[in-house]
Amino acid sequence: MVLNVVGDMTLFAFAFAHPAMLAWLAAAAVPILIHLWSRRRYQETPWAAMEYLAAALRQRRRTLLFEHWLLLAIRTLVVALVVLAVAEPVEERGGLAAAPGERTHRVLVLDGSFSMGYTIGEKSRFEQAKELAARIVRASAPGDGFTLVLMSAPPRIVIGQPSLAPSEFLREVELLELPHSTADLPETLRQVEQVLLAARREQPRLTREVIYFVTDLGRVGWSLEGKDAATVAEFRSRSERLAEAASLVVIDVGQADAENVAVTNIRSRRPFATLTRDFEIEATLRSFPPRARPGQSVELWAEGRRVARQVLDLPAAGEVKIKFFHRFESAGDRVLEVRVPGDALEIDNRRWLAVPVKASVPVLCVEGRSTAGAKDAATRYLALALSPRPEESPLVRPEVVVESRLPEMELDRYECVFLADVAQFTSAEARLLGRYVAHGGNLVFFLGDRVQAERYQAELGKDQPLGIRLLPGQLGPTVDRVETRLDPLGYRHPVLDAFRGRERSGLLTVPVLKHMRLDLAEAGDSPVGAASSSAATARVVLALASGDPLVVEAPAGRGRVVWVTTSADTSWTYLPLWPSYVPLIQEMLDFLIRGQLERQNIGVGEPLNALLPATLGEMSLEVRDPRGRVETVRSRREDDRNAWSFAETWISGVYSVEAKTADTVTSSQSPGTDDAAALVRPNVFAVNVDPAESDLTPLNMEELRNETWPGVPFVHQRSWEPIDERTLGGTVPSNPWAKNLLGGVMVLLLVETFLARRFGHYD
Amino acid sequence: MENSPNYFDPQVLARLEGLSLRARRIVEGYVAGLHHSPYHGFSIEFAEHREYAPGDDLRYLDWKVFGRTDKFYLKQFEEETNLICTLLLDVSESMAYRGPAAAMSKLDYARSAAAALAYLVLQQQDCVGLTTFDHQVRATVRPGSTPAHWKELIRVMEESSPGRETALAPIFHELAERTRRRGVVIVLSDLFDEVEAVLTGLKHFRHRRHDVILFHVLDPAELDFPFHDVTRFRGLEGWNDLVVEPRALRQAYLKQFENYLRRLQQGCRAAQIDYVLLRTDRSLGLALASYLAARLRRSRM
């Protein structure tokens, strides 16, 4: 039963916890019946002084009638109010049952995983979720507070402090866009708890808490499979805590039979493209759930136009790889896109690859032994290996300089710096190299007779500015022992990827006459102090049969450092004479340069960041996102770095960056604005979705109840509908309406007693 | 003495059989010896004629007037006898009322009072007469002072039963016209009639220079209206029945009744009529004694 009272543009209605009790409202007629019955049941007496009784009656007739009706009305009302109180009325605004005077903090958690972009009909799941959120807000009582959390990875608190203005809150909901991320439920719950804790401190009058999860219950987001035990335990205890204090409502907007085809991967073998060769990429298509799909069209787009199209059959396994070739027409940062025609989930139908298209790859070779180009130069074979056919306008053009020129070189111009048999480095040189690596440069050290291990250790084994350590272990002593077998260590390192399955390439039979030991295990015992990040993450690429590392690679700063523990020429090894030398050097260079490609191709939610030449000084950059919106970021100079970063990569697609034309360059030595714009590299980034979210399989109720939230009370709804929140978890206060009604009964009883006595109906 | 009954308690008095015994008990208990006639030693002189009425002593018929006019006229004298007391007893239907707290009806109580007063008067060798009435005269006992007269008075009173509605004013006028010899007129009635008319009737007695004593006999229920539950009040003397909730009407009723009493008492005071309220739940002896004592004090002043 619902009672409606309309007033002041607000519709109030009441529902009852025990509507059957309302049948007792008929008892409200009892006082009237008693009155009528008592009039029929009277005692009788003769009366002599009738004249005065009749006069009294004439005098009081109207008053008596009024008093009778007033008392009858009060008595009837008393009975009615008692019945209403017993029936426990609860205020209902459009369906939300809540007790009066009680304000509720409603936390709306909208699933921000991109599977919410699945669209059946005109509206996506996310649009439906926003509409449900709006309905919940509109149906709430005045005084309720609303917060909004987007369940993405990482989760985003959109409105953290309870908003008491529904219209403003709804405006925020309306503006909310679906990010193209996955969902991180444990972290989302942590954020929700933080929001609730803050709200309890700052808005203590919001005594009730309800958390709405409007979600498609995607398995990727809601299943705890693959998560470590500590995370699961923390998640469950937090869930129980939340359920004790708040009501949990899961509103499921998903479809159990949803199908999807996605481009789950796109990669290139080479780290950059050239203008002279076709660039090869490999895309992976997958159907969810796995099933054969004949005649699937796949397109390659470049520079805003379709450049290739293939039609293939997806096998029953549901996954297929497809190769495309494309030749770029101009150098610079370019983007390739693989696209499958639309299905119900558009977001993962496209995948982008930002590719640096290079006309040349500048490489510096630092000669430590002789003059550049001399026959005994340590870099002689190295330069040849880097540019095996110099007469064919090679892409890689190594510049060889003697070590004495190192301090004067502008290292940031080079993609990679090879250092061969350099005896030692001064502190200034070490800092120079450290800064170069920190900015994204790559170093390859070859050793030799001139190398003074202790000097290397002293200068390169210590932390440089920005926390860079170039030497990832303990170097030395020199081992003068011929080794003829190399250990590829299972070809695990990408540098050796090309050699996998090609044992006859000669890689494993290289005679190494001398090498210098590089003990990575001792890195932590170095006198400099604790192992730096480069030492901790150093990987042995290739080892000698004795186990000593021959090639070690370690990330450092934004770049990488490779240590080859033998010489670059034939003084310590015959490697330069071996057929595997050139491919090894080329693969090494590819691997080192690939860092740029990796920084240009990131996942949704990962920040864009890059360095500007230090000489530019701090400047503003405009980042244009896939929707064409432009955000301005400003670079920051710190410790000789001039870095910029942009974190708002919630949408998949291509982000471009350029110098803001009106920006004032702060450095007096800076080049002009046009030059500055040219120096912003890379200027294109590809942001792609996590393909795991393409699997639209929802978590079923049993899994949700038994695995994700065992023992946690929650309400599951297929579509939002009113609930009696008092029946859920959390502290349930007594029903103030019922209390008020009983209070009213007490007041009426007092009034009735007073009036009856005053009217003379009681002695 | 502790075990001797308290004859002034109406409850006890009501149990006594016979009006004669009741009267004697009352008088012997308290009232005896209090009264001295204020009219003792007056000589008789002719005063006037008046028309004969049933019950008049035929000895006072003026046969000469009868011979001239063929109508019966009585000769009336300024008597030189002792006090002549005339008791006017209301026997209307309303006098039959007996409330829940009363031991006897108003009529019984009035009869007891009348008998006691008659006994007292006779004890003093004075004459006492009696007239019972409702809307008309029901019975008349002419004044006398013999023991046989006493018995006659008792008989008439005991045989008087509640009659019909009251019409006091005409009755009083008629009796005032008929009672020419100055004396004491004692009215025993609940006086449920128009106050002004009642007072006019009583004033008629005063006009005839009677000493009028009004014993206003009321039931305590009429004074206190002690009813609680819804009650159907059955109207006596021709009034329609009323079903009312007494609690709601009590104040209004009491106000009306007090107003009635006040008007009556004020009228009596103005006409020099002794007003004595007799509640039927109160001791009759005490009431009579206190009134007579007060009257004695007043006469000696």
- Cα(A349)–Cα(A330) distance, rounded to whole angstroms? 27
Given a cut of 80, is residue A544 above it in pLDDT? yes
**In this predicted structure, what is the pLDDT of residue A726?**
55
| Range name among A147-161, A567-581, B116-130 with the lowest pLDDT average | B116-130
Q: Kindly state the tokens that stand for A631.
A: 């955000």
How large is the greatest C-alpha to C-alpha distance in chain B, in angstroms?
A: 68
Q: Kindly state the tokens that stand for B178.
A: 């008929």
Q: Do B249 and A48 touch (CB under 8 A)?
A: no
**The dihedral sign for the CA sequence A480, A485, A489, A492:** positive
Given a cut of 80, is residue A675 above it in pLDDT? no
Test the A interface: residue of B109, B256, B262, B264 with most A CBs within 10 Å: B256
Q: Where in chain B do CATH 3.40.50.410 domains reside?
A: 18-36+83-296
- Cα(A647)–Cα(A191) distance, rounded to whole angstroms? 19
The amino acid occupying position A251 is: I
The answer to whether the beta carbons of residues A95 and A14 sit under 8 Å apart is no
- Cα(A370)–Cα(A569) distance, rounded to whole angstroms? 12
The answer to whether the beta carbons of residues A181 and A605 sit under 8 Å apart is yes
The answer to whether the beta carbons of residues B164 and B135 sit under 8 Å apart is yes
Q: What are phi and psi of A195, to 5 degrees?
A: -60, -45
Q: What is the ipTM of this complex?
A: 0.78
Tell me the C-alpha to C-alpha distance, in Å, between residue A651 and each of A488, A646, A688: 41, 13, 8
The answer to whether the beta carbons of residues B243 and B78 sit under 8 Å apart is no
CB atoms within 10 A of CB A668: 6
CB atoms within 10 A of CB A150: 24
Burial class (CB in 10 A: 0-12, 13-18, 19+), B242: middle
Mean pLDDT of A122-137: 91
**In this predicted structure, what is the pLDDT of residue B1?**
36
Given a cut of 80, is residue A680 above it in pLDDT? no
Q: Kindly state the tokens that stand for A222.
A: 């809601």
How much is the CA Rg of chain B, to the nearest whole Å? 20
Strand intervals (E) in chain B: 45-51, 73-78, 84-90, 127-133, 137-144, 184-189, 211-218, 231-235, 242-244, 274-279
Nearest Cα residue in chain A from B166: A48
Q: Per-residue confidence of chain B (301 residues) as pLDDT tens digits? A: 334 444 456 665 565 556 666 666 666 655 544 444 444 333 344 556 677 777 666 777 778 778 888 877 777 654 445 678 889 999 988 888 888 888 889 998 998 888 888 888 887 778 889 999 888 888 888 888 887 888 888 888 888 888 777 778 888 888 888 877 788 889 999 988 888 988 998 888 888 888 889 999 999 999 999 888 888 888 887 788 888 888 888 888 999 999 999 999 999 999 889 899 999 988 888 888 888 888 777 766 5
Query: Counting one residue from A and one from B, how many pairs have CB atoms under 8 Å apart?
Result: 101
A526 confidence band (pLDDT: 50, 70, 90): very low
The answer to whether the beta carbons of residues A366 and A419 sit under 8 Å apart is yes
- Cα(B72)–Cα(A83) distance, rounded to whole angstroms? 85
Q: Do A760 and B227 touch (CB under 8 A)?
A: no
CA A238 to chain centre: 20
Chain B interface residues (partner A, CB cutoff 8 A): 93-97, 100, 106, 190, 192, 219, 222, 227-237, 239, 242-245, 247-253, 255-257, 260
DSSP string, A315-340: -TTSEEEEEEEE--SS-EEEEEEEE-
The Cα of B255 is separated from the nearest Cα of chain A by a number of Å equal to 8
Binning chain A into helix, strand and coil, the percentages to the nearest 5 are 35, 30, 35
Could you say which DSSP state residue A708 is in? I
**In this predicted structure, what is the pLDDT of residue B245?**
83
3-class secondary structure, A553: strand
Name B83's Cβ contacts closer than 8 Å, sequence gap at least 6.
B37, B38, B39, B40, B121, B124, B126, B127, B183, B184
Q: Do A67 and B234 touch (CB under 8 A)?
A: no
* pLDDT one-digit tens code per residue, A357-400: 988 889 999 999 877 667 778 898 999 999 887 777 678 889 99
Name A88's Cβ contacts closer than 8 Å, sequence gap at least 6.
A16, A17, A18, A735, A737, A738
| Range name among A253-257, A544-548, B108-112 with the lowest pLDDT average | A253-257
Given a cut of 50, is residue A3 above it in pLDDT? no
Given a cut of 60, is residue A528 above it in pLDDT? no
How much is the CA Rg of chain A, to the nearest whole Å? 39
Q: Kindly state the tokens that stand for A191.
A: 């954020």
A532 confidence band (pLDDT: 50, 70, 90): very low
3-class secondary structure, B21: helix
**In this predicted structure, what is the pLDDT of residue A668?**
42
**Residues in chain B closer than 8 A to A49 (CB atoms):** 94, 192, 222, 257
The Cα of B247 is separated from the nearest Cα of chain A by a number of Å equal to 5
Tell me the C-alpha to C-alpha distance, in Å, between residue A67 and each of A53, A330, A758: 18, 101, 10
Q: Do A54 and B239 touch (CB under 8 A)?
A: yes
**Residues in chain A closer than 8 A to B232 (CB atoms):** 42-45
A467 confidence band (pLDDT: 50, 70, 90): confident
- On average, the pLDDT of chain A sits at 84
3-class secondary structure, A9: coil
Strand order in the sheet with A416-420: A396-402, A361-367, A416-420, A442-446, A559-564, A549-556, A539-544, A486-487
Test the B interface: residue of A36, A44, A53, A758 with most B CBs within 10 Å: A53
Greater confidence (A132 vs A729) lies with: A132
Q: Do A49 and B245 touch (CB under 8 A)?
A: no
A230 confidence band (pLDDT: 50, 70, 90): very high
* pLDDT one-digit tens code per residue, A694-730: 888 888 888 888 889 988 888 888 877 766 655 554 4
Name the residue among B87, B99, B94 with its Cα closest to residue B164: B94
Mean pLDDT of A122-132: 91
Domains in chain A with CATH codes:
3-38+53-94+738-759 (no CATH), 103-257+697-732 (3.40.50.410), 260-358 (2.60.40.10), 361-599 (3.40.50.880), 604-661+671-691 (2.60.40)
For chain B, the residue count is 301
**In this predicted structure, what is the pLDDT of residue A664?**
46
Burial class (CB in 10 A: 0-12, 13-18, 19+), A558: buried
Q: In A403-428, which positions are buried (b, 16+ CB within 10 angstroms) versus exposed (e)?
A: beebeebebeebbbbbbbbbebbeee
Given a cut of 60, is residue A732 above it in pLDDT? no
CATH architecture of B18-36+83-296: 3-Layer(aba) Sandwich (3.40)
Name the residue among A741, A762, A740 with its Cα closest to residue A753: A762
- Cα(A571)–Cα(A128) distance, rounded to whole angstroms? 71
Helix (H), strand (E) at residue A382: helix A380-386
Nearest Cα residue in chain A from B248: A760
- Cα(A148)–Cα(A162) distance, rounded to whole angstroms? 9
CA A207 to chain centre: 31
Q: Do B234 and A52 touch (CB under 8 A)?
A: no
The Cα of A68 is separated from the nearest Cα of chain B by a number of Å equal to 10
* pLDDT one-digit tens code per residue, A53-112: 888 888 888 888 888 888 888 888 888 888 888 877 765 544 455 555 678 899 999 999
Q: Do B252 and A50 touch (CB under 8 A)?
A: no
- Cα(A349)–Cα(A343) distance, rounded to whole angstroms? 8
Strand intervals (E) in A548-605: 549-556, 559-564, 601-603
Nearest Cα residue in chain A from B95: A48
Name A531's Cβ contacts closer than 8 Å, sequence gap at least 6.
A523, A524
**In this predicted structure, what is the pLDDT of residue A542?**
93
Query: Which of A39, A45, A59 is facing B252, going by the closest CB pair?
Result: A59
- Cα(A363)–Cα(A489) distance, rounded to whole angstroms? 28
Find the angle CA(A715)-CA(A716)-CA(A718) to the nearest 5 degrees: 145
The amino acid occupying position A559 is: G
